[in-house]
C-alpha cells in the first residue's frame, strides 16, 4: 500500500471541499460533512486497517482511527461547526457586494450569538449534544470532574486541572473569545465607517439607505485625496445626486444593488461621452 492513500477516497466519501477553496462557507460545509458522515469515515479507516499490506501501514491507519474516535475530536468538530454556522451568513454577505448593506448588522448579530454561547445554559446544551454524538459512535465521554489527561501524554501524568476546566475554559471559551476578537479586529472603526459609507450608496428601494453624513465620514478616511474645498464640493454634489436619481432620472429606478448601480453609471458616462 506504501503511503496511506486515504485523502481522495475520504474526500469523495464525505463530499469535502477542494483544498483550494478556502472560503469560510466551504469550511462550514466540510465540518458539517465530517459530523454527518462520521460513522462512514470510521468504517473507511477501519477498512484501511484491515486491508493494510504492511505492519507499518496498519500501524498508521490504526493511529488515524484511534485519534479520530476521541472526545476531543468530537468536541472540536461540533464547536467549529457551531462557530462557522454563526458567522456563515456574515461571510456570505461580505462575498456579495449587493449585500454589503447588511454587513454591520450581521457583525453585531454574530458577536452577540458568540457571546451568548458562553453562558452556562448554552454550555450545558453544547456538552449534551457532543455527549449524544459520542454515545452514538461509541466514543468514551470523560468525567469532567477527573483530572484532564492529554491523549499525547502518559496516563500516569495527568494535568493539574480538571477535564471540565480544559474543555470549558481552555478550549470552549478561548475559541469563542478569539472569534469575537477576530471580528473586532476585522471590523474596527475604520472598516465600519467604510461599510456604512458603501451601504449608503445601495440603490435598493429608491436609495432608501442614502445618508450624506455617513458617506462624508467615509471620505474623511482619505485626507490626501480630499482637502476642505473638495469635501465641501463633494457634499453639494451628493445632495444634487440623490435628488437626481430619486426624483428625475428614471434609469436609476428599480435597481437591485451596487452592481446594477455601477453598470448604470458606466452606461450613462459612455452615453455622455
Cα distances from 222 to residues 194, 217, 225, in angstroms, run 11, 10, 6
> In which residue are the cell numbers 479520530 written?
68
At 156-189, the pLDDT tens digits run 577 789 999 999 999 999 999 999 999 988 888 7
Distance (Å, rounded) from C-alpha 58 to C-alpha 69? 16
pLDDT at 50: 77
Sequence-distant (≥ 6) Cβ neighbours of residue 120 within 8 angstroms? none
Distance (Å, rounded) from C-alpha 152 to C-alpha 270? 66
Alpha helices in 15-119, H assignment, sequence order: 24-36, 38-51, 55-68, 71-94, 103-116
Domains of the chain, by residue range, sit at 70-186, 189-265
pLDDT at 122: 96
Bigger pLDDT: 170 vs 17? 170
Sequence-distant (≥ 6) Cβ neighbours of residue 123 within 8 angstroms? 117, 168, 172
At 236-256, the pLDDT tens digits run 999 998 998 888 888 888 777
Q: Report the pLDDT averaged over residues 129-145.
A: 95
Cell for 236?
453639494
Q: Using pLDDT thresholds of 50, 70 and 90, give the confidence band for residue 4.
A: very low
At 205-228, the pLDDT tens digits run 888 888 999 899 888 888 888 899
Residue 25 confidence (pLDDT) above 60: no
Q: What angle do CA 51, 52, 56 make, to 5 degrees?
A: 165
Distance (Å, rounded) from C-alpha 242 to C-alpha 93? 25
Amino acid at each position: 500500500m506504501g503511503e496511506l492513500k486515504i485523502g481522495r477516497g475520504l474526500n469523495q466519501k464525505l463530499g469535502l471541499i477542494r483544498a483550494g477553496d478556502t472560503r469560510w462557507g466551504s469550511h462550514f460545509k466540510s465540518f458539517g460533512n465530517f459530523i454527518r458522515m462520521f460513522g462512514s469515515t470510521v468504517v473507511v479507516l477501519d477498512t484501511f486497517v484491515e486491508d493494510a499490506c504492511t505492519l507499518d501501514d496498519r500501524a498508521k491507519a490504526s493511529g488515524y482511527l484511534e485519534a479520530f474516535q476521541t472526545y476531543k475530536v468530537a468536541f472540536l468538530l461540533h464547536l467549529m461547526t457551531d462557530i462557522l454556522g454563526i458567522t456563515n451568513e456574515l461571510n456570505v454577505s461580505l462575498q456579495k457586494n449587493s449585500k454589503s448593506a447588511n454587513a454591520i448588522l450581521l457583525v453585531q448579530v454574530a458577536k452577540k450569538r458568540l457571546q451568548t454561547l458562553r453562558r452556562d445554559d448554552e454550555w450545558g446544551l453544547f456538552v449534551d449534544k457532543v455527549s449524544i454524538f459520542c454515545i452514538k459512535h461509541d466514543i468514551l465521554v470523560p468525567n469532567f470532574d477527573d483530572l484532564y489527561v492529554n491523549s499525547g501524554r502518559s496516563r500516569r501524568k495527568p494535568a493539574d486541572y480538571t477535564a471540565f476546566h480544559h474543555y470549558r475554559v481552555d478550549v470552549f471559551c478561548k475559541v469563542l473569545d478569539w472569534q469575537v476578537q477576530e471580528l473586532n479586529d476585522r471590523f474596527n472603526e475604520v472598516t465600519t465607517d467604510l461599510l456604512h459609507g458603501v451601504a449608503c450608496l445601495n440603490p435598493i428601494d429608491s436609495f432608501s439607505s442614502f445618508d450624506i453624513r455617513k458617506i462624508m465620514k467615509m471620505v474623511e478616511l482619505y485626507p490626501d485625496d480630499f482637502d476642505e474645498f473638495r469635501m465641501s464640493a463633494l457634499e453639494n454634489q451628493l445632495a444634487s445626486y440623490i435628488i437626481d436619481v430619486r426624483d428625475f432620472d428614471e434609469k436609476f429606478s428599480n435597481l437591485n444593488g451596487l452592481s446594477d448601480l455601477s453598470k448604470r453609471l458606466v452606461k450613462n458616462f459612455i452615453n455622455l461621452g
